[in-house]
């Protein structure tokens, strides 16, 4: 193949490549500037990304999907904006209605984006961190499977003098497709969950475990270690029960505490997509 032809093909491949996630959202934000319901959803995602990129905890998110009735509302808006025979109205309808499925998919893909870009699996918002900090008070805390350490960093910001021990086996740093463990936001000690608990059991009151890997039994191993230890330690677990996180053994064997504190912890920990993760207090 001659160099000129090769250059043309490379240029075409580059042109056809999918634009980066945030660039696509910025494009659709401009496209839907007159449609408040979609605009609010896009702006929530863009603001969350801005805060995460700045090293700050993001705000709580609404449910990230285009409302079922939005296409009807869009049709009504265009009909009231343009005369019946105005080709501009037809052009806008065709453009926006064709873009809607793409916008909806981008919104639903936000969790995948923050996993890949920031190594954040459980979406840790500033309001939730305040609830969590209020619950644990100044009691010493161990975070296991901490990833990049977003929970520990948030707690330290709210309670600078509190003992917060942050650990992770750092096994995820071997994965090429996301940033888990590669962009730590706080100091993280390289320990697996059970080793970390055994090392610090007599120094802590709470263990925080967010989004234990799906189908792996390290969460069950940790719970057994907590139960075998003489210290009174409560496990704060964030995950989707019998869903995207943790092992069946863990969810089957966990003893769930049901009290007002659990409700308060979940007041600002609400799902924004098809994954219904929540906060559990477990013994």
Tens digits of residue pLDDT in 4-39: 344 444 444 344 346 899 999 999 999 999 999 999
Give me the CATH code for the 122-282 domain, please: 3.40.50.150
DSSP for 10-45 reads HHHHHHHSPPPHHHHHHHHHHHTTT-HHHHHHHHHH
Q: Is the pTM of this model over 0.85?
A: yes
Enter the tokens of residue 60.
């709580």
Q: What is the pLDDT of residues 230-257, one digit of tens each?
A: 999 999 999 999 999 999 999 999 999 9
pLDDT at residue number 67? 95
Concatenate the DSSP letters of all residues of 257-271 into one string.
Answer: --SHHHHHHTSS---
Better-scored residue on pLDDT, 1 or 18: 18
The dihedral region occupied by 145, where left means phi > 0, alpha psi between -120 and 50, and beta the remainder, is: left
What's residue 19's pLDDT?
A: 81
Q: What are phi and psi of 63, to 5 degrees?
A: -70, 125
Q: What six digits make up the tokens of 138? A: 């100044």
Domain ranges of the chain: 3-108, 122-282
Per residue in 93-124, pLDDT (tens digit) is 999 999 999 999 999 999 999 999 999 999 99
At residue 85, the pLDDT reads 87
């Amino acid at each position: 193949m001659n160099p000129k032809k090769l250059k043309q093909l490379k240029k075409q491949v580059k042109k056809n490549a999918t634009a980066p996630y945030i660039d696509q959202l910025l494009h659709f934000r401009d496209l839907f500037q007159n449609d408040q319901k979609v605009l609010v959803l896009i702006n929530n995602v863009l603001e969350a990304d801005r805060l995460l990129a700045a090293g700050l905890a993001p705000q709580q998110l609404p449910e990230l999907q285009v409302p079922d009735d939005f296409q009807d509302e869009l049709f009504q808006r265009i009909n009231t904006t343009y005369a019946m025979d105005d080709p501009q109205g037809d052009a806008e309808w065709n453009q926006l209605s064709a873009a809607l499925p793409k916008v909806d998919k981008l919104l639903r893909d936000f969790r995948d984006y923050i996993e890949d870009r920031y190594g954040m699996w459980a979406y840790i918002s500033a309001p939730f961190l305040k609830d969590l900090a209020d619950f644990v008070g100044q009691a010493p805390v161990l975070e296991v499977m901490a990833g990049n350490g977003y929970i520990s960093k948030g707690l330290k910001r709210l309670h600078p003098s509190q003992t917060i021990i942050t650990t992770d086996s750092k096994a995820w740093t071997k994965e090429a497709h996301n940033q888990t463990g590669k962009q730590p936001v706080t100091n993280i000690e390289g320990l697996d969950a059970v080793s970390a608990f055994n090392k610090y059991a007599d120094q802590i009151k709470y263990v925080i475990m967010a989004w234990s890997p799906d189908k792996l039994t390290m969460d069950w191993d940790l719970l057994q270690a907590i139960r075998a230890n003489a210290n009174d330690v409560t496990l704060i677990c964030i995950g989707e029960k019998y869903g995207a996180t943790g092992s069946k053994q863990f969810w089957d064997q966990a003893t769930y505490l049901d009290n007002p504190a659990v409700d308060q912890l979940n007041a600002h920990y609400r799902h924004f997509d098809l994954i219904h993760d929540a906060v559990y207090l477990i013994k």
